[in-house]
Structure 1
């Protein structure tokens, strides 16, 4: 089968044909129809804003429609708000199409796992529900308009996009702009300060910062912790199937170079590798006998990721990115082709690898292969708050993670970085920069400031957020980006309604909007949006009321990872609100002491009240703008 390997992310097809005569003025302009960008658009539109959503590719959905069908998170309790809405739509699709007891429903895992084509249909239909959202696919950012402010900052007020169908410019103006790209392309064009690469250990005191060789739960020689320009390796999240009826053979790339894979063949000859799955790639099942095939995090000489190949991507021109994309594409298909056909690959491995091929019903317009390279890490904003390693770990003075009074989202995953450099002769089996600390941190609050640039107004950045390299390894997941996107969209709407800069919005009002929409700013294992006390519980948790409830010194350590499905876990211990529990005097006095610190003190009795009733009585007295701030 002859196969032209010029599959690219600029393919000239659109799902909603964009007019080259775009309306000039929008309330909110978003670049990047990733899940984070989409959730921003929907959240702003729900508040009545007119929204323009621009996307460089021919389809919306980012990696969720581009092959990342097996998302990273730990506990289902952390998935609320607009991401839970997405889950419910996925679950509804499989339930109505195949039946509630079907294998497809089971494999969707509560709606978190969707085939790329299904995720695409859902995002398209969802966006189409809002006539005040205009979607422009096949449009690339060219330039921006900045206005100098008396404060010394600049305001982003306009942008020009190139229509890739005819190369005609489309100029738009907006009150608020949102950067939904993985790379941070809009914030870079606007002149925001950003970083690419790794900080040193000394800069923020992060154990895993800089150059590190971490393996078998220890640091190896060469772990200097020095800063450099290295970022995580990229790869494709390849949608594959083992269904003979739906399977296409892996084509031989035109640029196939067998010599590239000699280290892998050596490992196979030496008996270090005996299986395709788990030792070379990670096969993660999704509905309809498909899989999200991913890099094997701690594989030996070779897997799907190519550490070091991605360094020029974040700041690269479209042409440079296309070269990097093509190099990864040739490598990926070449790897599969070798394992399925090379005579030096043992029959057992060949037969196992040959069970998998490209699905006929995915990406028919792109050779049945994803148009999206998995950009694990691009530019990182330097914003009003820099999320670091410590911010997703247990706070020194509490049972939970660090208290963030202006939290607008919750994350729940371990610090996780794929290799930044390939194995070398000194460390032939260890990738520099690879670590996976699945058991080392608790669910963590994410503050509003990670989205706010320091020197540019009128812009929010919910994807390429402000963080260190290590901190970003805990934030780089679609459920988190959708949660931050929801917050960004609602913040943009507040800016429009109150005529204040996005950096000066009332975060307590934003939190209230998020809670009303079923989103969380604090993690609980037993209080969900259908609870009558949900909003009160979320509000007071954001004020620190549960920071050390129960007291860490009064309870024994409990292992917090109890698997329910591979990498997924039961709810975290000691994160229950226990709202049906009767209030005791000590806790009542503790909470009332906090309430009395407000500008308008809150008062209530506790006798005979449950925790939920007590908080509800306090919550009824809360006035807009009342916010506790953590002590420095």
Structure 2
């Protein structure tokens, strides 16, 4: 080790590099996963540095993703719940508890991008003595930027984008919190890009798939694997408030030909909803005449005006989170052109980011101005624009592309659809005893290809319901590198990743990563050898839900007991039912599980009393 530091000093002298010091944890990326890793580690007394490529922290929630993607809100808690509670309190403090803004923030799950940035910064500022943030620091996925020895990362280099100098960072544990997985790739962790075949894991929606939105597979769905990456877009902060509205500018690279297919879609009402299965050519022609008379569309499943281009979720202060319109053939997603993003250089990524920005602005400009579209359609869209109090240093446009999926690593545990699907109707998905968070979102992927003649949808657009599931620690652990954690580019198949990739889950995995790193440092072991019970105890004490129960919240005094016992198989149902008397069959099952005689009377002793007896003996 002494020779290594001498070598570093010599390199600094010869290359005129700037050594930035050593930290307990070096985190690449300031998206919510990276932020929560730093905060969790700071609360364990560890120092960290966050290296962020842009001039702003916060990732996607600070760049338009203001409508939180989570199906069961109480499933993911811990630092994520702290974030949402602070969001709500922000609106209470600024506008009053009974204000419209508080109502529109939906208990902190819906928020303006600028507010998300403020809350993340506030949470980080509480640990200024432990957390260092360096903006405009770019990590390039090149071998020369990483020092790896005996399966441990020793240091990494980043480019200071402000002065053009390379900077050196040394750490004990490293965290890849990039959406792309750049650090893990250069560390040699095996990864996948593209879609697995349906045959490989038997997952719904796997491989090539054309499906009516949230419905059954359609003609052309072969399930074959390929290198296709689901589409990216910008999550737009839109408003129809004239006092806070900026008109969509016409980009210099505007190309009308890219958008002309929208014309017939508007006039006929063609869309990708299941209702289209029963729509005839005659019905579409009748819709055309109906619209020509100055009416809105009457075709089933069709949207009108701004909602033909973008889905909208209401945010406070008369703003919306504008996402891709899932029922449209043409919207803000730009399939195919992003396939190279996960493994490309930042030079290529920046060019695509500009291309995507210009495409997006061009789409709305076309919809507002092209005279081939119905006049009353254009007028309705003209009521909308960019919010002028957001991204004021970036012409009111989001600063970051919504990278829905980059590299997916092959870690200690490989998460697939089966981990999120119930084992039987009404039951839970498979239980992971090494769970570090519960989570819940659909198996959800956006398009991988552009519009194709004769297809009912865009290839790759799928959604399948799941149940609240547990996420094992192994999804963030590489198999070989001893001091690297991967809380964002996690280990899983395309379909498995499609449910894990939501910001609440990434925040929870970031929290787990911060504590795992701290335990690894304290006990001088690899991240794979951290004591899982100790890690889970710390998470539970921080009110992190590891196994979701409908009748129990983190504030409950029995929360720790139920989490502990549930992960050990004692409470497999959705409700803990602590106050009920234990029945004879359950008493027999629990006695077999703990392997000692239980002093309890069936139909009289409460389940809580019996669990407490077992818990206390197991914890001795």
Q: Which residue of 2 aligns with 1:89?
A: 86
For the aligned residue pairs, the C-alpha RMSD in angstroms reads 1.7
In 1, Cα distance between equivalents of 2:439 and 2:156: 32
555, 563, 568: which one aligns with 1:530: 555
Q: Which residue of 2 aligns with 1:61?
A: 58
Bigger helix share: 2
Deviation at 1:218, TM superposition (A): 2.3
CA deviations over 1:230-258 (Å, ceiling 9, x no partner)? 11111110011111111111111111111
Deviation at 1:365, TM superposition (A): 0.8
Q: Which residue of 1 aligns with 2:263?
A: 265
The SS at the match of 2:323 is: strand
Q: Does 1:304 pair with 2:332?
A: yes
The SS at the match of 1:278 is: helix
Instruction: Please tell me whether the aligned partners of residues 157 and 458 of structure 1 are also in contact (alpha carbons under 8 angstroms).
Output: no
Instruction: Please tell me whether the aligned partners of residues 389 and 471 of structure 1 are also in contact (alpha carbons under 8 angstroms).
Output: yes
Q: Does 1:40 pair with 2:37?
A: yes
Q: Does 1:616 pair with 2:615?
A: no
Q: Could you state the TM-score of these two structures normalised by the residue count of structure 2?
A: 0.89
CA deviations over 1:241-289 (Å, ceiling 9, x no partner)? 1111111111111111111111111222334474124332101110000
Q: Which residue of 2 aligns with 1:566?
A: none
Instruction: Please tell me whether the aligned partners of residues 606 and 614 of structure 1 are also in contact (alpha carbons under 8 angstroms).
Output: no
The SS at the match of 2:183 is: helix
Q: How many residues align?
A: 567
The SS at the match of 1:291 is: strand
Q: Which runs of 5+ in 2 are unaligned?
A: 1-16, 272-296, 298-303
In 2, Cα distance between equivalents of 1:475 and 1:604: 42
491, 505, 509: which one aligns with 1:480: 505
Q: Which residue of 2 aligns with 1:628?
A: none
Instruction: Please tell me whether the aligned partners of residues 598 and 610 of structure 2 are also in contact (alpha carbons under 8 angstroms).
Output: no
The SS at the match of 1:221 is: coil
In 1, Cα distance between equivalents of 2:581 and 2:164: 66
Instruction: Please tell me whether the aligned partners of residues 602 and 618 of structure 1 are also in contact (alpha carbons under 8 angstroms).
Output: no
The SS at the match of 1:218 is: coil
Question: What does residue range 333-412 of structure 1 map to in structure 2 within 5 Å?
Answer: 333-396=361-424, 399-412=427-440
Instruction: Please tell me whether the aligned partners of residues 595 and 603 of structure 1 are also in contact (alpha carbons under 8 angstroms).
Output: no
In 1, Cα distance between equivalents of 2:269 and 2:460: 26
The SS at the match of 1:314 is: helix
Q: Which residue of 2 aligns with 1:248?
A: 246
Deviation at 1:327, TM superposition (A): 1.2
Q: Does 1:605 pair with 2:600?
A: yes
Q: Does 1:145 pair with 2:173?
A: no
In 1, Cα distance between equivalents of 2:89 and 2:242: 27
In 2, Cα distance between equivalents of 1:449 and 1:71: 25
Deviation at 1:346, TM superposition (A): 1.5
Q: Does 1:577 pair with 2:573?
A: no
1:352–1:518 Cα change, 3 Å: same
Q: Which residue of 2 aligns with 1:132?
A: 130
In 1, Cα distance between equivalents of 2:451 and 2:613: 59
The SS at the match of 2:343 is: coil
CA deviations over 1:562-616 (Å, ceiling 9, x no partner)? xxxxxxxxxxxxx2212121222221221221122xxxx6855356432223223
In 2, Cα distance between equivalents of 1:473 and 1:222: 22
Deviation at 1:144, TM superposition (A): 4.1
206, 220, 231: which one aligns with 1:222: 220
Deviation at 1:474, TM superposition (A): 1.0
Q: Could you state the TM-score of these two structures normalised by the residue count of structure 1?
A: 0.87
Instruction: Please tell me whether the aligned partners of residues 76 and 437 of structure 2 are also in contact (alpha carbons under 8 angstroms).
Output: no
256, 273, 289: which one aligns with 2:318: 289
Q: Does 1:586 pair with 2:585?
A: yes
Deviation at 1:221, TM superposition (A): 2.6
1:77–1:65 Cα change, 3 Å: same
The SS at the match of 1:421 is: coil
In 1, Cα distance between equivalents of 2:147 and 2:116: 36
In 1, Cα distance between equivalents of 2:535 and 2:598: 24
Question: What does residue range 324-339 of structure 1 map to in structure 2 within 5 Å?
Answer: 324-339=352-367
Instruction: Please tell me whether the aligned partners of residues 248 and 365 of structure 2 are also in contact (alpha carbons under 8 angstroms).
Output: yes
Instruction: Please tell me whether the aligned partners of residues 247 and 358 of structure 1 are also in contact (alpha carbons under 8 angstroms).
Output: yes
Instruction: Please tell me whether the aligned partners of residues 144 and 190 of structure 1 are also in contact (alpha carbons under 8 angstroms).
Output: no
In 1, Cα distance between equivalents of 2:178 and 2:270: 39
Instruction: Please tell me whether the aligned partners of residues 359 and 368 of structure 1 are also in contact (alpha carbons under 8 angstroms).
Output: yes
Q: Does 1:51 pair with 2:79?
A: no
Deviation at 1:145, TM superposition (A): 3.5
Q: Which residue of 1 aligns with 2:113?
A: 116
Deviation at 1:546, TM superposition (A): 2.1
Q: Which runs of 5+ in 1 are unaligned?
A: 1-19, 550-574, 625-632
Q: Does 1:164 pair with 2:161?
A: yes
Deviation at 1:360, TM superposition (A): 1.6
Deviation at 1:525, TM superposition (A): 1.1
Deviation at 1:471, TM superposition (A): 0.5
In 1, Cα distance between equivalents of 2:374 and 2:56: 39
**More displaced stretch, 394-403 vs 513-522:** 394-403
